[in-house]
C-alpha cells in the first residue's frame, strides 16, 4: 500500500508540476532576464518549453512504468536513477514556463496516461527490450532537443542553457541503457515512436 501511494504521488506531482528539482536550473547560472525577447518570441519560446515540459511528464510516466515492470533489481535501480534526473528536467521546464508567464500543457494527465501505458508494454516485453526502448527514446529526444536549439532565439540564453543540459543528460541515459544490454528496436517500432512523438510535440506547442 505504501508503495502504491508513493507511485501515485510521483504521477500526481508530474501532472501538476509540483516536482522539485534537486539540481539548480542551468538557467540560474545565466545572468540575463527576458527583456531581450519581444512578445512573439516569448510566445514561441513558451510553446517550445511547453513541449519539453510534456516530454518530461512523459519521461516520468515511462520510467515509472518501466521501473514497476523491470525484472532485475539492477534495471529497476537504473530506471529509478534516470527518473530522478528527469525530475530535475521537469522542474527546470516548469520554472522556465513560469518565468515566461506561461503554463504547462492542459493535456498533461492524458500525456502521462498514454506514456505510462507505453512504458508498461515496453517493460513487460523484458528488460533488454525495455532498455532498448529507453535507448531509442533518449536518442529521439536528443535529436528533438537539438532541433529546439536551432529554433530557440539566439539571445534566449536561459532556455538554451536548460535545453543543452537536458540534452547532455539524455545522451547519458541512452548510453547507459545500451551499456546495460538494451537492444536495437526494429525500424517500424522506431518509426511508430517518432510518429507518436510528433503528435505530442505539435499539440503541446499550443495546448
Ligand atoms: Fe529529460
Ligand atoms: Fe532522459
- For the chain, the domains span 38-204
What's the first-to-final CA gap in the chain, in angstroms?
A: 35
pTM of the model: 0.90
CATH code, residues 38-204:
1.20.1260.10
Q: Dihedral (C-alpha) 61, 179, 165, 19: value to the nearest 10 degrees?
A: 30
Say which residue, 8 or 36, is predicted with more confidence.
36
State the distance from the centre of ligand 1 to the C-alpha of 50, rounded, in angstroms: 13
Residue 135, judged by CB atoms within 10 A of its CB (0-12, 13-18, 19+), counts as buried
CA–CA separation, 70 and 83 (whole Å): 14
State the distance from the centre of ligand 2 to the C-alpha of 31, rounded, in angstroms: 26
pLDDT band at 142 (very low <50, low <70, confident <90, very high): very high
Q: Express each pLDDT in 13-38 by its tens digit.
A: 777 767 777 899 999 888 777 778 89
State the distance from the centre of ligand 1 to the C-alpha of 170, rounded, in angstroms: 6
Closest CA to 136 of 79, 176, 193, 180: 193
Residue 100 · residue 46 · CB < 8 Å: yes
User: Which ligand ends up closest to the CA of 134?
Assistant: 2
* The residue to which cell 525577447 is assigned: 37
Amino acid at each position: 500500500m505504501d508503495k502504491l501511494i508513493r507511485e501515485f504521488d510521483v504521477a500526481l506531482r508530474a501532472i501538476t508540476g509540483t516536482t522539485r528539482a534537486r539540481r539548480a536550473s542551468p538557467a540560474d547560472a545565466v545572468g540575463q532576464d527576458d527583456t531581450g525577447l519581444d512578445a512573439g518570441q516569448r510566445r514561441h519560446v513558451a510553446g517550445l518549453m511547453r513541449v519539453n515540459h510534456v516530454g518530461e511528464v512523459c519521461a516520468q510516466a515511462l520510467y515509472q512504468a518501466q521501473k514497476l515492470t523491470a525484472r532485475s533489481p539492477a534495471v529497476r535501480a537504473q530506471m529509478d536513477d534516470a527518473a530522478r534526473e528527469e525530475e530535475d528536467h521537469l522542474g527546470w521546464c516548469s520554472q522556465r514556463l513560469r518565468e515566461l508567464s506561461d503554463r504547462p500543457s492542459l493535456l498533461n494527465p492524458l500525456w502521462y496516461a498514454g506514456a505510462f501505458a507505453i512504458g508498461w508494454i515496453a517493460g513487460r516485453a523484458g528488460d533488454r527490450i525495455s532498455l532498448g526502448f529507453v535507448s531509442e527514446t533518449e536518442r529521439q529526444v536528443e535529436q528533438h532537443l537539438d532541433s529546439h536549439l536551432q529554433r530557440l532565439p539566439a539571445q534566449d540564453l536561459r532556455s538554451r542553457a536548460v535545453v543543452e543540459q537536458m540534452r547532455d543528460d539524455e545522451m547519458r541515459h541512452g548510453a547507459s541503457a545500451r551499456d546495460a544490454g538494451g537492444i536495437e528496436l526494429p525500424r517500424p517500432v522506431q518509426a511508430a515512436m517518432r510518429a507518436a512523438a510528433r503528435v505530442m510535440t505539435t499539440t503541446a506547442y499550443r495546448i
